[in-house]
Amino acid sequence: MTAKGFSALPLHERIRQDIETRIISGTLRPGDRIPSELELMARYGCARMTVNKALSALATRGLLERRKRAGTFVARPRTVAMVLDVPDLGSAVTARGQVYAFRLLDRQISDTARDRQAAADLGDVGRVMRLTGLHLADGVAFALEERLINLALVPAIEPVDFSTEPPGTWLLRHIPWTEAENRIGALAASRAQAKVLGISPGDACLAIERRTWRGADSVTVVRQTFVAGSHELVARFGPAGGSPARISAAAAAMTSAIGTSSA
């Protein structure tokens, strides 16, 4: 693009966009070799470090592949790693203009020596806290949360009252973690789940299981069950700097060609 007539952009950025444009437009095809840094440095009339900065950025983004001695090549797209935004539930609800609340349903202190399930989830860590609660938007339950917390690692949470702040937010603000894993799937609501969520048994739900570690120790394991349609996860891959405006314009749901979902 570079709609700016002046050289508003730094040089390495213009070089990057120039090459990126050639890849996107198909002038450069996957597997093609692009000129060496020395050649590009002559072509753009700049130092090699400047060319290097542009090419390195494109390589980091996966558009180029660089091999020593061989040269720089347009990458062949393979499996893709996208960035998944995992928002705080309270913030997400508030951002939609609704009132968020968390209601604690149950709270128990257990021990991995007696509680085999907790031991399977957190490892043999000793005392654990088991929480069950509901996430509400405008007073309506949309997600059920079941959580295990390693009390040896987070003793300060034992006396906390979660009426003002849900446990996830409390942990996020108080306990740093070094690793986390989300598993995302779908399930049919059990009878008990359906009852507290106000839906029917067997109804579709989105299930997210999140585990966090601090170094080698498990901090918490949480399973959140969302009523279908109440929550959506968005993962992106694209130019640095966030989502283009186009995406929101194209957000109309794709209606099923098979199921003319009449309801």
> Given the rule CB under 7 A, which residues bind DNA?
2, 10-13, 36-38, 45-50, 52-53, 55-56, 59, 66-72
Q: Which does 190 bind (CB under 5 to 8 A by kind): DNA, a second copy, none?
A: a second copy
Does an H or E element contain 20, and which?
Answer: helix 11-24
CA 175, CA 161: separation in Å to the nearest integer? 16
Local structure of residue 63 (DSSP, 8 states)? S
Q: How many residues bind a second copy (CB under 8 A)?
A: 100
DSSP per-residue codes, 127-153? EEEEEEEEEEETTEEEEEEEEEEETTT
Determine, following the binding rule CB under 8 A, whether residue 117 of this chain makes contact with a second copy.
yes
The nearest distance, CB 97 to a second copy, in angstroms, is: 17
- 16, 44 Cβ separation under 8 angstroms: no
Which one of residues 3, 5, 6, 26 is an interface residue with a second copy (CB under 8 A)?
A: 26
Determine, following the binding rule CB under 8 A, whether residue 177 of this chain makes contact with a second copy.
yes
- Nearest Cα to Cα of residue 41 among 54, 31, 33, 51: 51
Applying CB under 8 A, the span of 7-15, 34-42, 64-72, 199-207 interacting with a second copy comes to 199-207
Determine, following the binding rule CB under 8 A, whether residue 9 of this chain makes contact with a second copy.
no
Tokens linked to 12: 């390495």
The nearest distance, CB 206 to a second copy, in angstroms, is: 4
Q: Which does 172 bind (CB under 5 to 8 A by kind): DNA, a second copy, none?
A: a second copy
- Residue 7 or 21: which CB sits closer to DNA? 7
Determine, following the binding rule CB under 8 A, whether residue 16 of this chain makes contact with a second copy.
no
CA 127, 136, 82, 12 torsion-angle sign = negative
CA 238, CA 241: separation in Å to the nearest integer? 9
CA 73, CA 58: separation in Å to the nearest integer? 11
CA 180, CA 190: separation in Å to the nearest integer? 27
Tokens linked to 199: 């839906």
Q: Which does 47 bind (CB under 5 to 8 A by kind): a second copy, DNA, none?
A: DNA
- 193, 225 Cβ separation under 8 angstroms: yes
Which one of residues 7, 60, 94, 163 is an interface residue with a second copy (CB under 8 A)?
A: 60
Which one of residues 51, 220, 221, 224 is an interface residue with a second copy (CB under 8 A)?
A: 221
Determine, following the binding rule CB under 8 A, whether residue 245 of this chain makes contact with a second copy.
no
- Residue 41 or 122: which CB sits closer to DNA? 41
- Residue 47 or 156: which CB sits closer to DNA? 47
- 136, 146 Cβ separation under 8 angstroms: no
- Residue 146 or 165: which CB sits closer to a second copy? 146
